Amino acid sequence: MQDLNDIALYAAVVRNNGFSAAARDLNIPKSKLSKHVARLEEQLGVRLLERSTRKLRMTEIGRVFYEHAQSLLDGVAAVEAEIASARAEPTGIVRLACPFGFTPMLADILPGFHRRYPGVRLLITATNRRIDLIEERIDVALRARDQLDTDNQLIVRKFGEVRERLAASPTLLARLGEVTTDNLSQMPTLSMNEQHPNDVWRLVHANGGEIEIPHRPVIGCSDFLILERAAIEGMGIALLPDHICERGFRTGVLVPVLPEWTSGNVMVHLVFPSRHGMLPATRALIDYLAENLIKAMERCREFDPRPAASFEI
């Protein structure tokens, strides 16, 4: 088997178009470089380079050998980078963006991340606007959308799917009477749309039918927890993720409205730039979120959303 150093030095000569340039690039004597290439040719029993006083030219077999040698060297470099990455202790700053609706779950799991990786510092941007990861220098973005991102500059890692369900307080429903798809538009509603006074709910029936419900919400807010509290207090009907509204259903402070109608599947996923050159701290956060986020969403169902009892002094 040929010495890998000889192969690497031969490849360097080819890349630099000559022994002198390669010697300068590698900071080794030209004579040493020539000796290694000559030894490689001797071991292979073929001429790899045609030398003259003015120029250097690869032979045909030298060209074939170089292509395979470069692939081998690239593979070795990739393995070494993987090993170095695995051995490196994650440290430094990671910038994470997430929608407001996921902040309670992040608050639940991030203390564990800090205990596992104390050298990593997180800068978290909570926003529902679309983040341009490249432009805004965000390392990882958590998203919940009807469709996965298709930006070819980004890698997508899907976690799971959730649905949104209509919910309201039993007191409000007792006052409103029967709610149907025909009169839902006239009911008091609560919306995630914080930008416009009007909104449209796109709902899917259990049998596959679809409907659009235009409405004028009493409150428009991008934070699910505010909408949940407003729904519990009887301010309107809200469309809430199932892991949030189901805890209200369990305790009785919320009841389903038109339970056969839900949003379409909302896909929970991470997006991040190419894995090539990814820092260990960023990789650690991605893996930790993949391991723990869905569990945190399940635990979120168990929270008691009822207001704490008040005491008079």
Across the chain, what does the average pLDDT equal?
Answer: 86
Q: Enter the CATH code of domain 164-262.
A: 3.40.190.290
pLDDT in tens, 74-99: 888 887 777 766 666 888 999 999 98
Residue 187's Cβ-count burial label (10 Å; 0-12, 13-18, 19+) is buried
Predicted pLDDT of residue 53: 65
Angle at 172 between CA 307 and CA 103, to 5 degrees: 45
- Is residue 310 pLDDT above 50, yes or no? no
Predicted pLDDT of residue 127: 87
CB atoms within 10 A of CB 267: 18
Architecture of domain 92-162+266-300: 3-Layer(aba) Sandwich (3.40)
- Is residue 60 pLDDT above 50, yes or no? yes
- Is residue 287 pLDDT above 70, yes or no? yes
pLDDT in tens, 227-249: 999 999 999 999 998 888 888 99
Return the CA Rg of the chain: 30
Q: Which fold is adopted by the domain 4-87?
A: Arc Repressor Mutant, subunit A (1.10.10)
Contact (Cβ atoms closer than 8 angstroms) between residue 131 and residue 138: yes
pLDDT in tens, 174-216: 999 999 999 999 999 999 888 888 999 999 999 989 999 999 9
Global pTM reads: 0.62
Domain ranges of the chain: 4-87, 92-162+266-300, 164-262
More confidently predicted of 304 and 192: 192
- Where residue 313 falls among pLDDT bands split at 50, 70, 90? very low
Residue 264's Cβ-count burial label (10 Å; 0-12, 13-18, 19+) is middle
| 4-87 shares its CATH topology with 92-162+266-300 | no
- Where residue 307 falls among pLDDT bands split at 50, 70, 90? low
Q: Structure tokens of 107?
A: 């608050």
Predicted pLDDT of residue 161: 82
Predicted pLDDT of residue 113: 96
Predicted pLDDT of residue 276: 67
